[in-house]
């Protein structure tokens, strides 16, 4: 077997494994049981469940399109009518008269 064929087979195995793990995670969520209860009923070690959950999440993040930063030139006025958006450690101040298109583009890039 060539190295290239072996790489393809490994990638396919990983995809199948991740799909199975994602299905298990969905089953747990749909069951209404806690992770501990679901794991006990399905003979899955909770550490294994959380490992699989992390791997599925990582795979999902890697398959998302790369985020970009959009530079906007906006005057900073500091008036009380301005819009203030805060999330985690990010604070954004926008003028109250910001255009709908600019605000929509900003929100799209942030989400």
How distant, in Å, are the alpha carbons of 24, 66, 83 from that of 91? Answer: 38, 22, 10
And the tokens for 74?
């906006």
Evaluated on CA atoms 98, 100, 101, 103, the torsion sign reads positive
In angstroms, the first-to-last Cα distance of the chain is 44
The Cα–Cα gap between 18 and 25 comes to 10
Supply the pTM of this predicted model.
0.54
Q: From first to last of the 111 residues of the chain, give the pLDDT tens digit.
A: 666 777 888 888 988 999 999 999 999 999 999 999 999 999 999 999 999 999 998 888 777 666 666 666 655 555 556 777 777 777 777 887 888 788 787 777 766
């Amino acid at each position: 077997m060539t190295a290239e064929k072996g790489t393809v087979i490994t990638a396919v195995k990983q995809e199948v494994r991740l799909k199975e793990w994602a299905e298990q995670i969905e089953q747990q969520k749909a069951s209404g049981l806690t992770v501990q209860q679901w794991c006990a009923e399905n003979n899955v070690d909770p550490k294994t469940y959380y490992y699989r959950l992390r791997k599925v999440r990582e795979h999902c993040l890697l398959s998302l399109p790369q985020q970009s930063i959009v530079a906007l030139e906006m005057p900073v006025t500091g008036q009380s009518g301005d819009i203030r958006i805060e999330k985690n450690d990010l604070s954004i101040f926008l003028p109250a008269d910001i255009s709908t298109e600019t605000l929509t583009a900003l929100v799209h890039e942030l989400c």
